[in-house]
Amino acid sequence: MSFLTIIEAFRDFDFEGHFNAVTDQDVRAALAKDRLTQKDFLALLSEQAAPHLETMASKARKLTLQHFGRTMGLYAPIYISDYCSNHCTYCGFNSTNRFNRRKLTLAEVETEARLLADTGIRHIILLTGEAPAKTPLTYLEASVTVMRKYFSSVSLEIFPMDEAEYGVLNKAGADSLTVYQETYDREVYKQVHLSGKKRDYDWRLLAPERGARAGFRSINIGALFGLGKICQEAFFSGIHARFLEHHYPNVEIGLSIPRMRKAEGAIDPRNILDDPGFVQFITAFRLFLPKVGISISTREAPEFRDKLVHLGITRLSAGCKTDVGGYAKETDTDTAQFQISDERSVDQVVAMIRQNGYQPVFKDWDRI
Ligand code: SF4
């Protein structure tokens, strides 16, 4: 069984009616449990749970300490190509945006890797747009091989591939895979993905499962908040993570909660996830998925990220550039995938983590 079967079962589910019917008693009952059902999770995502935020936060904090200790993983992205043949309406790299696109040579990949490694970062995410003709498997394989010289963990955030292709990159040294579904709502998915291979909802939805079967030790998923209805997106992200945990027990599952940011030529968010809602979702995720890692990127503002350290997150990105060759550039350009909000250096983020009583972790995994 794949997650497609699970999500199809919710095709006619009346989310609005269900959320409206949640009572204070439902929320209290969910908070009293150690293992939450899907119904409990829905209750904690509902408006009725908002007055219970303090209790949720305190439970989330306790669970995070129990499973992850006082540690905070650090990572950063490296963009190696911004060629893309998709038209995703929320992204600055979409195929209709006119700018000088770039793909790094392997020598430039190495320069980026060296500069980022100099900051202390040891876990990275390697990113491209979706343009297999420009960034074929052989190029990605060679780039991963270069990255492995500098980093103990190389995660991929590239276009969805088949199992055999994932296997090649895993063998080359990529250990983790990130695939955001962007929106779990099929109708919205169609409206925001106007052209290109990414229009294939099912192909993308099943990519994490192909990645798990191909041997990645860790898979990161999530929705881009701002596209579909926020509570529904949170619900599907959560049950997707639980499905993967259950079916691939040897794979570490992670979740991210990216909120849409401004990008050149991109649409504005259709549904806003505000800060209190964001905190509610993080704590609900932690209560529903006690062992799942939760990452927060530099899309979020520094003051907000600092507060989240205590609320259930386990990984922070730091010192990030979201344009191709960004670490080697003297000045920022306007050709980034999206604008970042937290521009602090790795050292500054490390200092903040320590001030909050946590231990920054640069490396917690290496392949022998
Ligand atoms: S989100 Fe990814 S696939 Fe879509 S336009 Fe941007 S880079 Fe391309």
Query: Ligand 1 atom 7: the closest Cα is on which residue?
Result: 129
> Which of 81, 95, 130 to mutate to test ligand 1, by most ligand atoms within 8 A of the CB atom?
130
Q: Cα(51) to centroid of ligand 1, in Å?
A: 37
- What's the pLDDT tens digit per position in 21-35? 999 999 999 999 999
Q: Cα(196) to centroid of ligand 1, in Å?
A: 10
Q: Which residues of the chain have pLDDT under 50?
A: none
The neighbour count for residue 352, using CB atoms within 10 Å, is 20
Q: Cα(139) to centroid of ligand 1, in Å?
A: 19
| Cβ(300)–Cβ(342) below 8 Å | yes
| Cα–Cα distance, 226 to 182 (Å, whole number) | 9
**Structure confidence at residue 335 (pLDDT):** 66
Q: What single-letter amino acid sits at 147? A: M
Q: Cα(105) to centroid of ligand 1, in Å?
A: 21
- As given in the structure block, the two tokens for residue 244 are 């993967």
Q: Determine if ligand 1 sits within 6 Å of the CB of residue 129.
A: yes
Q: Determine if ligand 1 sits within 6 Å of the CB of residue 84.
A: yes
Question: How would you label 263-291 residue by residue, b for 16+ Cβ within 10 Å and e otherwise?
Answer: bbebeebbbebeeebbbbbbbbbbbbbbe
Q: Cα(119) to centroid of ligand 1, in Å?
A: 28
Q: Where are the alpha helices (DSSP H) in the chain?
A: 3-8, 15-21, 24-31, 38-45, 53-68, 106-118, 137-148, 163-172, 186-192, 201-205, 207-214, 230-247, 275-288, 302-308, 346-355
The neighbour count for residue 107, using CB atoms within 10 Å, is 8
Q: Cα(361) to centroid of ligand 1, in Å?
A: 30
| Cβ(114)–Cβ(135) below 8 Å | no
**Structure confidence at residue 120 (pLDDT):** 97
Question: How would you label 20-50 residue by residue, b for 16+ Cβ within 10 Å and e otherwise?
Answer: eebeeebbeebbeeeebeeebbbbbbbebbe
φ, ψ of residue 209 to 5 degrees: the values are: -70, -40
| Cα–Cα distance, 78 to 222 (Å, whole number) | 20
**Structure confidence at residue 264 (pLDDT):** 83
φ, ψ of residue 214 to 5 degrees: the values are: -75, -10
Query: Ligand 1 atom 1: the closest Cα is on which residue?
Result: 91
| Cα–Cα distance, 307 to 300 (Å, whole number) | 11
Atom of ligand 1 nearest to the CA of 87: 5
| Cα–Cα distance, 128 to 238 (Å, whole number) | 26
**Structure confidence at residue 368 (pLDDT):** 79
Query: Ligand 1 atom 5: the closest Cα is on which residue?
Result: 94
| Cα–Cα distance, 357 to 138 (Å, whole number) | 44
Q: Determine if ligand 1 sits within 6 Å of the CB of residue 103.
A: no
**Structure confidence at residue 337 (pLDDT):** 72
**Structure confidence at residue 266 (pLDDT):** 87
Q: Determine if ligand 1 sits within 6 Å of the CB of residue 94.
A: yes
> Which of 80, 83, 84 to mutate to test ligand 1, by most ligand atoms within 8 A of the CB atom?
84
| Cα–Cα distance, 243 to 2 (Å, whole number) | 9
> Which of 93, 156, 191 to mutate to test ligand 1, by most ligand atoms within 8 A of the CB atom?
93
Question: How would you label 214-232 residue by residue, b for 16+ Cβ within 10 Å and e otherwise?
Answer: bbbebbbbbbbbbbbbbbb
Q: Cα(189) to centroid of ligand 1, in Å?
A: 13
- Ordered by where they begin, the domains of the chain are 3-361 (3.20.20.70)
Q: Cα(228) to centroid of ligand 1, in Å?
A: 17
| Cβ(218)–Cβ(245) below 8 Å | no
